Amino acid sequence: MPRNEAGRYRHIEVQPVAGALGAEIRGVNVAGALDDAVIAEIRRAYLDHLVVFFRDQKLTPHEQLAFAKRFGEPMEYPQLEGLPECPLITPVVKLAHEQINFGGVWHSDTTYLARPPMASMLYAVEIPPYGGDTIFANQYTAYDTLSEGLRGALDGLVGVNTSTKAEASKTREDRLRAAGVEMKVLTSEHPVARTHPETGRKALYVNHGHTARFKGWTEEESAPLLAYLFQHQVRLELTCRFQWQPGSIAFWDNRCVQHNAVNDYAGFKRLMHRVTLAGDTPR
């Protein structure tokens, strides 16, 4: 991942925010009519830094959706309703009286789908006066920093991912209950180490929120190795932390990034608008 940005971008300013991953993009109004050269540089920064951030944006749901469409095909988020006026925008909300937040566990989005999303784009509409940060973790480096022996063992394993693993499903229960929707059981199998279709790099592709066991192994047999991987892949030196402001955007690559929404703002509302971009079948 290049850390010296001098001369790499002509149309945007890219400022890394941490050594592991993450960069802030400046000088762009994403609601405007951006030409293809600007979009190409944003995509390059996204691939280089895994998650990119924008500040001080003012977006309607349709403007956010239009910007997201420059990078991929929006998809419905499973089991949650979109906005009535813009169904492909999903509101992510924690109300002041609620104790459990949405996405408050380390995970890569919806890996229980056969074709998990390529990317997610989150826009801050209303944030608490403090707290509510999101932490991201680099899964390329998580894989690269395992021993050669363990990497070799993992290359032959397949993870079984489910939508009903307790740590993640409890973060969706309030939203589903309010919508009168029953939790669906969705399960899919993916390589424990996947190859990124654009960069060709390998990334660790299990996560605490959804991976229940290894294919052909029992949950009891899988638990010790999964527990090691779960703590290894989110070590502090693999992460960056984003402090939200109204109008902030985070745009991250679900194929090589995990994230965790920190639940430390009890008594306050937090409202975000999310677009999910369709992905491929992990290989």
List the catalytic residue out of 49, 107, 194, 270: 107
List the catalytic residue out of 175, 190, 255, 274: 274
Is 97 assigned a catalytic role?
no
Assess contact for 189 and 161: CB atoms under 8 A. yes
Is 259 assigned a catalytic role?
yes
pLDDT at 79: 75
- Residue ranges with strand state E in 86-230: 90-94, 119-126, 134-138, 158-162, 187-191, 193-195, 202-204, 211-214
- Kindly report the CA angle at 113 between 117 and 24, in degrees rounded to 5? 20
pLDDT at 6: 56
Is 49 assigned a catalytic role?
no
Is 11 assigned a catalytic role?
no
List the catalytic residue out of 48, 109, 174, 253: 109
And the tokens for 236? 């502090």
- Give the torsion through C-alpha atoms of 17, 124, 87, 177, to 10 deg: 110
pLDDT at 170: 54
Spans of the chain below 50 pLDDT: 1-4
pLDDT at 1: 42
User: Domain limits of the chain?
Assistant: 13-277
- Is the CATH number 3.40.630.30 carried by domain 13-277? no
Q: How many CA atoms lie within 13 Å of 53's alpha carbon, on the beta-carbon side?
A: 24
d(CA 227, CA 80): 29
CB within 8 A of 54, min separation 6: which ones?
A: 24, 25, 28, 30, 248, 249, 251
And the tokens for 41? 């540089």
